[in-house]
Structures are given as structure tokens and as C-alpha cells.
């Protein structure tokens, strides 16, 4: 028996050695990490104020995995972002409105990255607040307010004797929100009157500082994102969609951001004021850095959408967008 013991011992040692993982089994992980560290390039992004906070978060997270990639982002408004794209001053544009025929003819390619809604807003300290919440404003009344050559009074709109003039705020920049809002009553953003401000932050500040003001903004600015509650001194105006001077259950204004987003997906909120937020390039992107960034946005990056106060894409949107990138 002593003759076989060394042989058995050698066989056992051989079997143990054979069970150890080969170095080649870890190669895919090593290759992936090498690819991340070797990917480098420069992405210039310009466009919509509505998308800027979210795209900034995406860029910061993406650069943690791809430190060799530089991403510069400018919030210039949708129109300027598209111009920068066409003039090759940007690789990607943040776009918060549907593409025009002219945009499409320029060869702009887009993918949806989030959804949002645009809403008329007033100051919560408006002395007519209770009446506004009770009867709302119809699309026709909103059109009259924003297109009036001379300021109207709240009394005229609410059928009261009040003589306080409505202070109208609209956008000075090429804003996607302005295009959507004006388009809901078949007008252009340039048709709207009132005090012109640049960006959602200035719009919010103007309404907060003026009791009798009315303006419009994205849902993500009408609510405080961390808490989901209304932004201080801001109230969304309910739509009187059936023109009966009374707000019914379906027309009640949102109490928080979650109900606002739910109204988009359930089709409760007017479709003309809902929009896809997109990222566009001049032609389908071929640069591996840009393609990888867009893939991240549609996968892991979707976790950041809700954190930014915007409405996430559903799986159908994501599936078709990823296929379009191939």
C-alpha cells in the first residue's frame, strides 16, 4: 500500500490544481475596465434649460467611469442648442420641443431621454387664488392673457369687480417650454406678450416676487424636487378644459410632483402641454464616446431622471432608443 500512497497524493494535488480558475476567465472584466480607462474624447453639449440639471448629473456620473472623457455643457435654450449643433459648435443638443421641418431637413437625429409637462403658474399670495382654484382658466382665457397688447385685469378673467392688472411673464430666450405653451393655443412663442425673462429660474423668481403675476414653467421647476412639494409661492393654474367655469375632479391641480408625472402617463394632463425631452446630434452619432454616453443615459442614467424632477422613460421608449443607436 505504501507504493500507491504517493501516486494517490499526486493525483489529488493535480485535481485541486485543475479546479483553480484560469487567469483567462477574468479577461472579460479586465478588458472592460481597460476599455473604460482608455476611452477618451470631448463632448460639447448645448441647449434646453429644462434638461441642463439632469445632463450635468449624467456627465458627472459618466466621467467617474470614463475619466478620459471631457464633457462641457451650456444652458442656452433649445433654439440656440439646435443652432450650435447645425453650426458644429456642439456635438449634442438638449432639446425640449418637437423638431420643426427645418430642423429635420438639417439632418438632426434625436432620441428621447425623459418626459415633462409645461404648466401656467401664479403666485400663491394672489388675492384671487381661491377663485382661480375654484373655476380655473380655460385655454381661451389663457390665450387672451398672454396675447393681450394691453394688460388685462384679474376681474375681467374671473368675472369679478377686481381691477388689479395681470402681470404677464414670458420667455426672452429660444425656449422649448415657450414653444410648447404658445403652441397649445396655436401660436408662436414670439407672439406672447409681457415681461420677458431668460430661463426657468428667472421665470420662477419673477412669479414669486409679483403677487398678480402669471407665467409658465416646466413641472420640474413648479415643484421642489427633493420633497416633491410645490415650489415656494408657486401655484399651478388648473385648466378649465370644458369651459364651464368650474374645476371638476379631472381638472384639479396637482398636489405634488408624483401626481403631476402620473397625469402625463395616464393622459389626464392636456397632451398639447406634454413633451418628450430629447438629445440630438447632427446625423446618427458614430463617435464611440458619444454613443457610449447616450447608452449610459438610456440605461443606468435613467435613475437620475426622477432625482431631477423629470418623468422617466418607460421600457418601450428605452428599447426602441437603444435599438436606434445600434
Q: Which of 274, 298, 315 is the last residue of a domain?
A: 274
Tell me the mean pLDDT in the region 35-45. Answer: 84
Q: Say yes or no: 248 and 218 in one domain.
A: yes
Task: Kindly report the three-state secondary structure assignment for every residue of 210-278.
Answer: CCCEEEEEEHHHHECCCCCCECCCEEECCECCCCCCCCCHHHCCCCCHHHHHHHHHHCCCCHHHEEEEE
11 to 2, 8, 19, 150: CA distances (angstroms): 15, 5, 13, 98
Mark whether 218 and 308 lie in a shared domain: no
pLDDT of residue 243: 78
59 and 157 together in one domain: no
Least confident of 28-32, 50-54, 226-230, 321-325: 28-32
Residue 241 lies in a domain: yes
> Within a domain: residue 14?
no
Q: What is the pLDDT of residues 252-292, one digit of tens each?
A: 778 889 888 888 888 888 888 988 999 999 999 999 999 99
What pLDDT is stored for residue 19 in this prediction? 38
Statement to judge: residues 121 and 249 lie in one domain: yes
Q: What is the mean pLDDT of residues 51-61?
A: 95
Whether pLDDT at 67 is above 60: yes
Cα end-to-end span (Å), the chain: 66
Q: pLDDT tens across 77-127, in order?
A: 899 999 999 999 999 999 988 999 999 999 999 999 999 999 999 999 999
Same-domain check for residues 251 and 162 = yes
pLDDT of residue 126: 97
Mean pLDDT confidence for 294-311? 92
User: 169 with 292, same domain?
Assistant: no
Structural domain boundaries, residue 226: 117-274
Q: Do 123 and 231 lie in a common domain?
A: yes
For Cα atoms 217, 156, 142, give the angle at the middle one, nearest 5 degrees.
25
| Number of structural domains the chain divides into | 2
Query: What CA–CA distance (Å, rounded) separates 297 from 124?
Result: 36
Q: Residue 157 and residue 138: Cα distance in Å, rounded?
A: 10
With cut-offs at 50, 70 and 90, classify the pLDDT of residue 75.
Answer: very high
Domain-located, residue 200: yes
* Percentage of the chain exceeding pLDDT 70: 88
- Is residue 1 in a domain? no
- Are both 109 and 141 inside the same structural domain? no
Q: At 273, list the grid cell.
A: 402641454
For residue 52, being part of any structural domain is answered with: yes
Residues 99 and 210 in one domain: no
Are residue 107 and residue 175 in the same domain, yes or no? no
CATH code of the domain covering residue 106? 3.40.190.10
**If pLDDT is split at 50, 70 and 90, which confidence band does 28 have?**
very low
Q: Is 133 helix (H, G, I), strand (E, B) or coil?
A: helix
pTM, rounded to two decimals:
0.76
Residues 238 and 91 in one domain: no
pLDDT single digits (tens) 165-213: 999 999 998 888 899 999 998 999 999 999 999 988 999 999 999 999 9
Q: Does residue 190 sit in the same domain as residue 243?
A: yes
- Structural domain includes residue 296: yes
Please indicate, yes or no, if residue 199 is contained in any of the structural domains: yes
Whether 232 has a pLDDT exceeding 80, the answer reads: yes
Amino acid at each position: 500500500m505504501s507504493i500507491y500512497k504517493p501516486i494517490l497524493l499526486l493525483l489529488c494535488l493535480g485535481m485541486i490544481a485543475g479546479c483553480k480558475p484560469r487567469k483567462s476567465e477574468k479577461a472579460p472584466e479586465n478588458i472592460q475596465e481597460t476599455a473604460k480607462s482608455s476611452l477618451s474624447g470631448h463632448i460639447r453639449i448645448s441647449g434646453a434649460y429644462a434638461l441642463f440639471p439632469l445632463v450635468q448629473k449624467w456627465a458627472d456620473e459618466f466621467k467617474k467611469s470614463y475619466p478620459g472623457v471631457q464633457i462641457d455643457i451650456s444652458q442656452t435654450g433649445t433654439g440656440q442648442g439646435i443652432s450650435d449643433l447645425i453650426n458644429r459648435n456642439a456635438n449634442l443638443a438638449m432639446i425640449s420641443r418637437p423638431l420643426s421641418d427645418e430642423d429635420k431637413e438639417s439632418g438632426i437625429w434625436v432620441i428621447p431621454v425623459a418626459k415633462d409637462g409645461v404648466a401656467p403658474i401664479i403666485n400663491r399670495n394672489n388675492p384671487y387664488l381661491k377663485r382661480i382654484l375654484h373655476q380655473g382658466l380655460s385655454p381661451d382665457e389663457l390665450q387672451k392673457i398672454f396675447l393681450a397688447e394691453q394688460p388685462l385685469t384679474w376681474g375681467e378673467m374671473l368675472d369679478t369687480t377686481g381691477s388689479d392688472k395681470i402681470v404677464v411673464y414670458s420667455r426672452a430666450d429660444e425656449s422649448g417650454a415657450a414653444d410648447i405653451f404658445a403652441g397649445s393655443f396655436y401660436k408662436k412663442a414670439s407672439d406672447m406678450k409681457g415681461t420677458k425673462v431668460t430661463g426657468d429660474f428667472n421665470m420662477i423668481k419673477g412669479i414669486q416676487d409679483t403677487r398678480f403675476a402669471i407665467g409658465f414653467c416646466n413641472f420640474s421647476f413648479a415643484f421642489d424636487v427633493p420633497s416633491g412639494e410645490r415650489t415656494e409661492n408657486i401655484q399651478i393654474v388648473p385648466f378649465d378644459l370644458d369651459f364651464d367655469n368650474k374645476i371638476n375632479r379631472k381638472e384639479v391641480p396637482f398636489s405634488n410632483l408624483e401626481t403631476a408625472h402620473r397625469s402625463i402617463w395616464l393622459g389626464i394632463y392636456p397632451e398639447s402641454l406634454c413633451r418628450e425631452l430629447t438629445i440630438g446630434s447632427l446625423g446618427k452619432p458614430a463617435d464611440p464616446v458619444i454613443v457610449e454616453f447616450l447608452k449610459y443615459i438610456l440605461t443606468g442614467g435613467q435613475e437620475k431622471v426622477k432625482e431631477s424632477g423629470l418623468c422617466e422613460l418607460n421600457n418601450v421608449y428605452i428599447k426602441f432608443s437603444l435599438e436606434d443607436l445600434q
